[in-house]
Amino acid sequence: MRHQTALEYGEPILADTSSTDAFVEFERVQKSYDGEILVVKDLNLSMPRGEFLTMLGPSGSGKTTTLMMLAGFETATHGDIRLGGISINNIPPHKRGIGMVFQNYALFPHMTVAENLSFPLEVRKMGKSEREAKVKRALDMVQMGDFGGRRPAQLSGGQQQRIALARALVFEAELVLMDEPLGALDKQLREHMQFEIKRIADNLGITVVYVTHDQTEALTMSDRVAVFDDGRIQQLAPPDQLYEAPENSFVAQFIGENNTLEGVIKEISGGRALVELDDGELIDCKPVNVSKPGERTRVSIRPERVEYNKSRLQEGAHTLKAEVLEFIYMGDIFRTRLRVAGNDEFIIKTRNAPDVERLVPGQQIEIGWLPDDCRALDA
Ligand SMILES: Nc1ncnc2c1ncn2[C@@H]1O[C@H](COP(=O)(O)OP(=O)(O)O)[C@@H](O)[C@H]1O
Ligand SMILES: [Mg+2]
């Protein structure tokens, strides 16, 4: 990891540009480290000012590389990156006016919190009173106003992370990049900080590009999420759309819990795909990422969209036979594992209510869902 120094900050180059719709833009961006393998492949992305966008994906999918190109610590091998309509390919990191927060927040241990924040301003020859005002403001933003005199070692992990955030905010950069900033914190603190970061970003109206491999974090914080896999954005959408309308099997599997049934497309017409499951059963689905009969498909169904109470089956619901393998009472919901069309890992979630039957292993039941909740995706 690079240690961020004062020289890597700079005046926002765009302080007075009129608001263009697209603030951050990637156009056909590629990156190769070795001149052969593309770790980022044809990346296209456009963000408006004030957006909180998260890059979510498994390790090695190209998230950090993308962030580093935006920050200017790596150069794109192909394509254009623009900030406020201006191409920044040849602008060095410290002139891009971008604040950064990393997982390992590298505060200077021998300096107080206030000195950590003030130092980069001092290097830029900012006057003492202006410096003090900016440091105070940044510390207040993260509710650490009383901690300016402490050294980093005297702070908890969460407090240090807030200081790292304040350091990224002290320049009043319009754009802040965060790479797994909460990765080192325990679960409770992480959840608290997710909320804090989102609140601060909203209050300041800054634009944030946030990187994580944690889907819950991505869903709770973001205006939009770019799901990365294999150097490509697999889908870019608001959290609810990603969960409810995944466009391919990778996204369906990566976001939330998901059931898949495998089969072959028999027919596509009138917004419906007729799928023959591998055990011979025919079901109607929504054709999402399939094109023609004969093609293999993975059908995706969310656990909470499956119903087994006869009185609750909606009109038009498709029904299938299932065997109960496991029934777990979880208080607010029942979580049931079923064997469906040869799949022993078919999970359904049912909200606990007085009229909902509690199932027992070995029981044969009928389950159903609406064709629209059953998405025919790539195999
Ligand atoms: N400095 C580097 N030199 C060579 N290969 C790198 C370098 N940084 C990352 N990579 C490779 O690029 C790919 C994407 O890495 P990265 O952008 O760090 O992914 P992520 O942040 O999603 O985990 C990985 O295969 C990784 O090994
Ligand atoms: Mg990374």
Confidence (pLDDT) at 173:
85
Half-sphere exposure of 38 (CA within 13 A, CB side): 15
Sheet holding 86-87, edge to edge: 38-47, 24-32, 78-83, 86-87
Whether residue 140 is found in the same domain as residue 25: yes
Ligand 2 center–CA 84 separation, angstroms: 25
Name every protein residue with a CB atom under 6 angstroms from any ligand 1 atom.
33, 39, 57, 59-65
Whether residue 242 is found in the same domain as residue 264: no
Ligand 2 center–CA 375 separation, angstroms: 31
Whether residue 225 is found in the same domain as residue 295: no
Which mutation among 29, 31, 33 tests ligand 1's pocket best, with the greatest number of atoms within 8 A of CB? 33
Is residue 1 domain-resident? Answer: no
Nearest to 341, CA basis, from 369, 313, 304, 309: 369
List 277's β-bridge partners, or say none: 263
The whole-angstrom distance between residue 50's C-alpha and the CA centroid of its chain comes to 16
* Digit-coded pLDDT (tens) for 243-280: 999 999 999 999 999 999 999 999 999 899 999 999 99
Place of tokens 């989102």: 198
Predicted TM-score of the model (pTM): 0.86
Confidence (pLDDT) at 324:
97
Whether residue 233 is found in the same domain as residue 282: no
Sign of the CA dihedral with 144 first, then 148, 150, and 152 last: positive
The range of the structural domain enclosing residue 372 comes to 257-378
Low-confidence stretches of the chain (pLDDT beneath 50): 1-19
Ligand 1 center–CA 238 separation, angstroms: 26
Q: Whose CA is nearest to atom 1 of ligand 1?
A: 33
Q: Contact 277/362 with Cβ under 8 angstroms? A: no
Instruction: Write the CATH number for 200.
Output: 3.40.50.300
- The residue out of 222, 249, 276 marking a domain boundary is 249
